[in-house]
Amino acid sequence: MARIADLYTEDSSFNDFVFGYSQYKCGRNGRSAELPYRPVHRTLDINGYQEKIQRLSEELAEAHQWTLEEAEAKAKSDYDEDVAYYKQREEEDLIILERCEIMLQEVQNWEPPSPDHKELKEVMIKDLSREVTRLSSKEYTPIPLRSGEEYKELVIKGCSSMLSSYIKTLEKEAGEVAAHNQWIDYLYQSLGEEYVD
């Protein structure tokens, strides 16, 4: 929030002071670059939400129309992509595991230059050991190949859930923006000023 010294000067009016203090409510932290400060309405960029909602609606409608053969082909395609992904991840993680094991050995063999550096060595050993354990125990098994019927049901449920989530989030954020803007309007009205975009 702006400092009182910044808000209450010889040139500051009561309204300038109140608007300056309103910064905390309007999501502005720190000192305002433009004094006297005037709170402004927030806007909601619904384009991103609309695009996601439109895309999910189309995917949902498409999934409902899949034949059993189409769903089986899509399930097989996704499964093949998963297998390739897990194979690539396993290969990359094996390289990282090897590097961690080599580095762990080097750290264990390192003689710290002073007692103050001993803690650094201990932390490095702990972190590298944890990473070696994590990478050594990691599973690289893709989700089993689903039947066309299972896959279609899964896609429909997933799209429906995400669609519902985006709609609820959009409604919630729209409500928050409206409440914020109403708060600002009431503030201006109480100070005898008109809000102008």
- 13-44 tens-digit pLDDT: 777 767 776 765 555 544 444 556 788 899 99
- Alpha carbons within 13 angstroms on the beta-carbon side of residue 126 total 6
- The tokens for 54 are 């439109």
The one-letter amino acid at 170: L
* CB neighbours of residue 178 within 10 Å: 13
List Cα–Cα distances, 59 to 77, 126, 146, 159, in angstroms. 16, 46, 19, 7
pLDDT at residue 63 in the model: 97
Of the listed ranges 4-13, 42-51, 91-100, the least confidently predicted one is: 4-13
Give the integer Cα–Cα distance in Å for 190 and 116. Answer: 62
* CB neighbours of residue 159 within 10 Å: 20
The answer to whether residue 5 scores a pLDDT higher than 80 is no
pLDDT band at 1 (very low <50, low <70, confident <90, very high): very low
The answer to whether residue 173 scores a pLDDT higher than 60 is yes
pLDDT at residue 33 in the model: 46
* CB neighbours of residue 182 within 10 Å: 11
Please, what is the average pLDDT of the chain?
87
The one-letter amino acid at 40: V
pLDDT band at 3 (very low <50, low <70, confident <90, very high): very low
pLDDT at residue 25 in the model: 57
Burial degree of 56 (CB within 10 A; 0-12, 13-18, 19+): buried
- The tokens for 169 are 């989030």
pLDDT, tens digit (0-9, with 9 covering 90-100), for 88-117: 999 999 999 999 999 999 999 999 999 888
**Percent of the chain surpassing pLDDT 70:** 84
69-78 average pLDDT score: 97
pLDDT band at 174 (very low <50, low <70, confident <90, very high): very high
Give the integer Cα–Cα distance in Å for 11 and 177. Answer: 32
The answer to whether 75 and 145 have CB atoms below 8 angstroms apart is yes
30 — alpha (psi -120 to 50), left (phi > 0) or beta?
left
